[in-house]
Structure 1
Amino acid sequence: MAIYAIGDIQGCYDDLLRLLKKIDFNKKSDQLWFVGDLVNRGPKSLETLRFIKSLGKSAICVLGNHDLHLLAVAYKHSPIRTKDTLKPILNAKDKDELLHWLRHRPLFHYNDDFCLLHAGLPPQWDFSTAKKMAAKVEHELRGDHYEKFFKHMYGNEPDRWSEKLKGYELLRFTVNCFTRMRLCDDKGTIDFKYNGKPGSQPKHLSPWFDLPNRKNAHLKIIFGHWSALGYHHSNNCYGIDTGCLWGGQLTALKLGTKMHRISIDCKGYRDPQK
């Protein structure tokens, strides 16, 4: 079985189909790992959700910040934003089925060789802690009180890991790591403002995957979220959000002992300057 990890789609459904044609994807023998942000900002979020859901066990998808935003909007705990392109999903006859499916996607997926997540991990988390923290959020999302979770999901605090975190503070920090993280200071304090290319950020900040003494440094991690980063490989981490939405590329990374990247050029649906 070939496994292909695929970068942020954000509703660019036609580009996804072109990429799958290029890699000659076979639903019966291959598996797709999606880094999250299936929806929003692009033109065909509804078609994207329906298609990936239809793939069944041939598709693994972790949740991204835009996917969680869709759920929060649908359950009336966040307003829809001007740039959102979520209304076709919210008005769809199969909306409830799609939202139920999305709400049951993981934050963290792994096999014996690779880990898949949307954004990042704090330096204090080892593999066991990452699994434990993801499971806590997944339990809330899939449980009877999921709407209460969305009520407390948004916010930039707390911004640093502590063993003392509990309740919704713990859940919020976990969500922010898995779905929003890019830069931290050397203690793992998350910066939520900068989203440009590494190198021009404030000097006290570093990409999360460059932090020294990361307890998860031995893990091979596939992530997305950071389109300005482009395709990136360092410190066992592979960034594969190559900015399809912004007129960059959509990338599939074939996982194995020899990693093989396949990309297509995208016309883009958003101006990165706006």
Structure 2
Amino acid sequence: MAIYLVGDIQGCFNELTALLVQVNFDDNKDILYLAGDLVARGPDSLATLRLVKSLGESAKVVLGNHDLHLLAVHAGIKKAKKSDNLSVLLAADDVDELMTWLAAQPLLQKIPNIHSQTKQQSKTTDAYMSHAGISPQWQLADAIEQAQFVHTKLASKERNTWLAHMYGEKPHNWQQAKSDIDKFRYSINAFTRMRYCFSDGSLEFSQKESPEHHNMSNNIVPWYELSQTINNTAWVFGHWASLMGRCSHANIYPLDTGCVWGNQLTMLRWHDKKHFRQAAILSR
């Protein structure tokens, strides 16, 4: 058995299937972890969802911001933009079934423990995947609790009511999240939208460029430079395409390499940390 982890697909179905062929993925024994944003902007979100759903227990998904937005569009809470490229998916005969399946996916997945000597690790390290990372204002137990809280709400009959509450940037500080609605919105933003944080760990939403190209004069830093959790816990995430898979922190594995923007789709084999890449197929 092998464990593979893949970054943001965003409807790049052909690149995903090419990577699965490249690694000889066998859904009878291998497991595929997907870092969220399965859909939107790419050419075939429908085929992507159908494929991942068909893998059953061999696919372990975390929800990304585009996946959550799709659920809200399907519920009539938001309107899709032309750039979302979701019209074929939303018109599909099985769209309701696909949305029920998607809403049942979590925000956080634990990756099975391994013994690794890579990146200066010499001990067994707990590892997790979420779309954007873990809030620096959380301990691991907080993240697990809040992921379960959101999952319960999205899997309930009140899903659409809760989806309507997720939009907005306040509170951006966990200490200010007092109500269930506040905690729901903050948790979704931390798990699916976070890149930079202010020095106190509160969330910042406007900056997307990589740290090497960013002017730090406005007192923001990458979330992983503030998190204490990742000193003892490996974290796999997507969302931040401008990182292009590069991060100096020993326990961090960024996987979004901007396939939908014409770059590449990246997959990581977990036991030996080998990367596999598929260049974007531009002639679509």
Q: TM-score range by the shorter chain?
A: over 0.9
Q: Secondary structure of 1:173's partner?
A: helix
Given candidates 182, 189, 210, the residue that maps to 2:225 is 210
CA contact (8 A) 1:231 1:242 kept: yes
CA contact (8 A) 1:184 1:207 kept: yes
1:269: Cα distance to partner? 8.3
CA contact (8 A) 1:107 1:134 kept: yes
- Structure 1: stretches of 5+ with no match in the other structure: none
What residue identity is the alignment partner of 2:65? N
1:191: Cα distance to partner? 1.1
Indicate the residue corresponding to 2:208 in structure 1.
Answer: 195
Q: 1:133 to 1:81 in 2, by over 3 A?
A: same
1:82: Cα distance to partner? 2.6
Q: State the alpha-carbon separation in 2 of the partners of residues 46 and 108 from structure 1.
A: 23
1:147-196 CA-to-partner distances (Å, cap 9, x unmatched) read 10011110011111117522111100000000000000121121111111
Given candidates 223, 230, 236, the residue that maps to 2:251 is 236
Q: Secondary structure of 2:209's partner?
A: coil
Given candidates 99, 107, 129, the residue that maps to 1:116 is 129
Q: State the alpha-carbon separation in 2 of the partners of residues 164 and 32 from structure 1.
A: 34
Indicate the residue corresponding to 2:55 in structure 1.
Answer: 55
1:95: Cα distance to partner? 0.7
1:36-70 CA-to-partner distances (Å, cap 9, x unmatched) read 00000001000000010000011001000000000
Q: Secondary structure of 1:232's partner?
A: coil
Indicate the residue corresponding to 1:174 in structure 2.
Answer: 187
CA contact (8 A) 1:38 1:49 kept: yes
Matches within 5 A, 1:1-274: 1-110=1-110, 111-112=112-113, 113-162=126-175, 165-199=178-212, 200-203=214-217, 204-211=219-226, 214-233=228-247, 234-256=249-271, 258-268=272-282
What residue identity is the alignment partner of 1:238? Y
Give me the TM-score of the superposition, normalised by structure 1: 0.94
Q: State the alpha-carbon separation in 1 of the partners of residues 282 and 236 from structure 2.
A: 23
1:244: Cα distance to partner? 0.5
Q: State the alpha-carbon separation in 2 of the partners of residues 24 and 56 from structure 1.
A: 18
Count of residues in correspondence between the two structures? 268
Q: 1:129 to 1:21 in 2, by over 3 A?
A: same
CA contact (8 A) 1:248 1:267 kept: no
- Structure 2: stretches of 5+ with no match in the other structure: 114-125
Root mean square deviation, CA, Å: 1.5
Q: 1:225 to 1:164 in 2, by over 3 A?
A: closer
CA contact (8 A) 1:248 1:268 kept: no
CA contact (8 A) 2:177 2:186 kept: no
Q: Secondary structure of 2:145's partner?
A: helix
1:215: Cα distance to partner? 3.5
